[in-house]
């Protein structure tokens, strides 16, 4: 197994999805935003280690089997005593998913001192943290400490996708303040229009992207549903800012499960292939011009488009998506 270039930290969730027989008959499908992103990156050929606590139940066994079958580095998988997190999904007419969560005692949030690595392998170019695990204690504090430590070391790019799930992240004002602290710590932020609406309810999506950039990240990417995607690279020193957007690809939507996670995995894949992840992160990202941002967005949007044409979180492989380049 190749040394990891990407480390992802966060949760697994067992998605209970309705079948053709109706909502009364469901199938269990391993998911969770960070897990889906790790799988998406690995399928595109980016060597990835996933830091996760795996539940002790049969769902946990299936989750572990999924992660290993996708070629993820098993070094970061911790066997936990607690059960797996569950999410019952229902679908709207446009294929978008709504989740009802069952996760109060799930293994994913109960990181203990010593379970997260004290040092990352020298091969790692980026650490990506996301979603519910950023908010639920006691693990959230330990994840934040890991990210803060790596920010001080300056050897890896820090990436955050808040992937807001309002039902399970606590008091909104407290969660909002914590999310903004995570974003300020990151070099790269990816957020959906729904995330931005939660974080900056008084702002439109494009204004909210600029507000995130003002917190300090070098690159902010927003997915805007049918309006496509937007990227803003913050100006530094004498270099001006760069901005690009791409439309959403037109495809037949089966459902939207895992679309944003596939987008995130492909985003990190493109940045790694083009030398934009690693030590001195702000300087690396500062080299991205408008055409680079357009190519980055097109690659990520194509990955999401592949995913929505299939049922469940089923991101494309490198053969399906093609090799990323720097022409937009």
Burial of 56 (0-12, 13-18, 19+ CB in 10 A): middle
Burial of 69 (0-12, 13-18, 19+ CB in 10 A): exposed
* CA angle (29, 34, 35) in 5-degree steps: 40
Q: Where are the alpha helices (DSSP H) in 137-256?
A: 139-153, 172-185, 193-199, 205-214
This prediction has a pTM of: 0.93
DSSP 3-state assignment of 119? coil
* pLDDT at position 20: 58
* pLDDT at position 100: 80
Structure tokens at 109: 């949030």
* pLDDT at position 257: 83
User: Residue ranges of the chain with pLDDT lower than 50?
Assistant: none
Cβ-contact 217, 189 below 8 angstroms: yes
Q: Which residues fall within 8 angstroms of residue 298, CB to CB, at 6 or more apart? A: 246, 328
* pLDDT at position 281: 97
Domain-wise residue ranges, the chain: 6-321
Q: What is the CATH number of domain 6-321?
A: 3.40.1190.20
């Amino acid at each position: 197994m190749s040394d990891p270039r990407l480390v992802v930290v966060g949760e697994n969730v067992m998605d209970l999805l309705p079948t053709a027989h109706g909502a009364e008959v469901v199938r269990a499908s391993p998911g969770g935003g960070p897990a889906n992103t790790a799988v998406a990156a690995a399928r595109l050929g980016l060597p990835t280690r996933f830091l996760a606590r795996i539940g002790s139940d049969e769902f946990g066994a299936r989750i572990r089997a999924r992660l290993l079958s996708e070629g993820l580095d098993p070094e970061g998988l911790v066997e936990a005593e607690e059960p797996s997190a569950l999410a019952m999904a229902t679908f709207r007419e446009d294929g978008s998913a709504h989740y009802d969560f069952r996760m109060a005692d799930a293994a994913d949030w109960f990181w203990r001192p010593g379970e997260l690595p004290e040092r990352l392998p020298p091969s790692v170019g980026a650490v990506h943290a996301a979603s519910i695990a950023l908010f639920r204690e006691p693990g959230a504090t330990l994840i934040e400490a890991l990210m803060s430590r790596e920010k001080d070391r300056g050897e890896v790019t820090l990436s955050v996708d808040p992937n807001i799930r309002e039902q399970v992240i606590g008091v909104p004002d407290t969660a909002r303040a914590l999310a903004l602290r995570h974003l300020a710590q990151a070099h790269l932020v990816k957020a959906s229009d729904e995330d931005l609406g939660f974080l900056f309810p008084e702002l439109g999506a494009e204004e909210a992207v600029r507000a995130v950039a003002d917190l300090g990240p070098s690159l902010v990417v927003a997915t805007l549903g049918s309006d496509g995607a937007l990227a803003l690279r913050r100006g530094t020193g004498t270099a001006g800012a760069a901005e690009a957007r791409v439309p959403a690809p037109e495809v037949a939507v089966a459902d939207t499960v895992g679309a944003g996670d596939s987008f995130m995995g492909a985003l990190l894949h493109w940045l790694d292939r083009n030398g934009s992840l690693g030590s001195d992160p702000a300087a690396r990202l500062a080299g991205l011009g408008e055409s680079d941002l357009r190519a980055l967005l097109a690659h990520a949007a194509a990955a999401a488009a592949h995913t929505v044409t299939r049922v469940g979180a089923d991101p494309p492989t490198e053969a399906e998506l093609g090799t990323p380049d720097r022409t937009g």
